[in-house]
A and B are shown apart, each in its own frame.
Chain A
Amino acid sequence: MSAGAVFQKNRRRWEEGFFRFLMYASTLIVVGSLLLILVTIIWKGLPSLSLSMITQVPKGGYYLGKEGGILNAIVGSLYLAGGATLLAIVLSLPVVLYLNLYTRKYSPLANFVRFSFDVLWGIPSIVYGAFGFVIMVFLGLRTSLLAGIITVALLEFPIMSRAMDEVVRLVPRDLKDASYSLGATKLETALKVIIRQSLPGIVTGVLIAFGRGIGDAASVLFTAGFTDRIPTSLGQPAATLPLAIFFQLGTPYPEVRQRAYASAAVLTILILIISLVSRYLVRRYTKHSVT
């Protein structure tokens, strides 16, 4: 082998190693940043987390460092995300079923709807918030649980639909054909075969959307308002956990900022639980799927 060839070979080997190193480092950064975030939030948050924080509503002067908790925000967020998720299911499920039952695979309508979902999915939540505000003014609503639910439902709609569409698409054609050949209508096939077959996947989609709804702050800023009480009707304003974190962090008092960290830990743990459950469902589902 000539000296030039050896050099060439070394250079190629060196280049391979160099880029391999960069790839390891990058992957480590991505994985490491998640771990770093989780550890920091929980490490900083848990020590200041007390039972009263998650079982009491703020008492007078809470934001100055006095007694109370963030139960109003926890319950408010659950109400808000729960209501929004229900509304989003009512919107998403029919659309996804229609796409997969009544349209051909690449029909213009199906393409257009999926494209719209992709585009909606990319719209930032602050724009949903502004749009929710426009709707609110148009309908003559005040900042309330209801206005927040409508806004967050719109935000969740594309997220849920895309996730559901991905699994409903996987239901084998044969199964539908078998159902039709037994004389079932398309509606009956949808309700008794498709939904049942893809239920874990549908539930996963619902959970993903719920998680997004519970964690989003920018969209409810305009519409849900904020209050120290737990709302008792749809017309009342509702506090949300992300906004509670944001407001507590904004105060100059160290004790209150500590509580912001604790609240962030609560939110993070909530999100972790939701995503673990949906992970579990995905795994179970893929084990049983035909493809």
Chain B
Amino acid sequence: MSEGKVKGWRLLKDSLARRSMFILTLVPGLIVALMIFGLLLRSKSILAVKSVSHLLFSTAWHPLRGEFGLLAFITGTLWVTFVAMVIAVPISLLTAIYLSEYAPRVVREVARPIVDLLAGLPSVVYGVWGVLMVVPFVANQLAPLFGTKSSGYSILAGGIVLAIMVFPTIIHVSLEVFTSIPHSLREASLSLGATRWETVKHVVLRKGGQGIIAAMVLGVSRAFGETMAVLMVVGNIPRVPKSIFAGGYPLPALIANNYGEMMSVPLYDSALMLASLVLLLVVLVFNVLARIILVRAERKAE
């Protein structure tokens, strides 16, 4: 009879495990919801006294006087992200095309860990490198070249550092998109006498168009939220930047820089939580959008 007991015990264990695993499986979705809810809850006290339009579209940032306009920070984020994407998109796409369409196997196998490593480096390390190389480069080489002066701690420096950090995201996603395009299509194009590049232009880029957009959107959202590296090189001046050689103050840097003071000034913590919420919502929309595009493209390919 002990055999029956053993069997019963095994089945019980199995069903207990199944149930607890099922509950844990719901956690990831729950975390997203909890994040929105929690940050909303903490930013309620500022939303109660200030209108959303004032918070988002005013440039007046004087926490001690109770003015919490986020516009300078939002434009700072947009500028840095824009500069980063202008640099990163062409370079990453061309690299991805090279790796998927031209490169010999060996090169591909060497390039993959390099791209992974680039993605795995901590952002503080990027920041230190930015301070060591990019900031002086902007101050001493680029600014004089364009006939202006700059301390180097600027939107441009932030954009350059950020661009390198975004490379892996765009390369990775677009490589996946390119490899999902059937080989027969390329061969058809080549057999009609098209050159390699013409095949890329008319077949690969056209077929993978949506996927490329998704890759760029993911890159933007990665750039949008990057904190430490940008914070270290961008200057942190709470004004709407006038040029890319001027300093800026992106939203994530604002949050990171003021965690110490936020509890001692009324509404300050609430304003920072609101800033985090804005960041979360923007990134969430971008991510969901990109993933939907990618899932669709994948289904189509199958």
Contact = CB atoms under 8 A, between A and B. Distances in A.
Contacts, number: 255
Interface in B60-106: 90-92, 94-95, 97-99, 102-103
Interface string A125-149: 1110111011101100000000000
A37 B21 contact: no
B4 interface: no
Given A23-B98, A279-B113, A98 B118 contact: no
Contact of A186 (B14, B32, B92, B114): B14
B2 to A, nearest CB: 17
A85 B34 CA distance: 21
A119 B282 CA distance: 12
Contacts of A20: 102, 196-197
Given A27-B98, A31-B114, A215-B121, A131 B197 contact: no
Interface stretch (B125-133, B181-189, B239-247): B125-133
Interface in A24-57: 24-27, 29-31, 33-34, 36-37, 40-41, 44
Given A98-B21, A187-B13, A267 B97 contact: no
A95 B252 contact: no
A242 B273 contact: no
B96 to A, nearest CB: 9
Given A15-B197, A97-B21, A215-B122, A120 B32 contact: yes
Interface in B129-181: 129, 131-133, 164, 167, 171
Interface string B246-272: 000000100110010000000000001
Given A26-B91, A119-B288, A157-B28, A134 B39 contact: yes
* Residue of B11, B28, B92, B95 with most chain A CB atoms under a 10 A cut-off: B28
Contacts of A272: 117
B47 interface: no
B190 to A, nearest CB: 12
B94 A23 contact: yes
Interface residues of A, number: 84
A12 interface: yes
B27 interface: yes
A124 interface: yes
Contacts of B232: 246, 249
B118 A127 contact: no
Contact of A36 (B29, B38, B133, B218): B133
Interface string B4-44: 00000011011001101110111111011011001101100
Interface stretch (A61-69, A167-175, A193-201, A217-225): A217-225
B11 A37 contact: no
A249 B198 contact: no
B195 A94 contact: no
A119 B284 contact: yes
A154 interface: yes
B293 interface: no
Interface string A203-218: 0000010011011111
Given A102-B18, A216-B122, 11 more contacts: A15-B197, A16-B196, A23-B98, A40-B133, A41-B125, A102-B22, A124-B227, A246-B228, A260-B128, A271-B122, A279-B113
21 contacts: A36-B129, A41-B129, A91-B24, A94-B25, A122-B221, A124-B279, A126-B225, A130-B276, A134-B38, A157-B28, A185-B10, A185-B11, A186-B14, A188-B14, A216-B122, A216-B123, A218-B227, A249-B128, A264-B124, A271-B121, A271-B125
Those 3 A-B pairs whose CB atoms lie nearest each other, nearest first = A124-B225, A215-B122, A130-B276
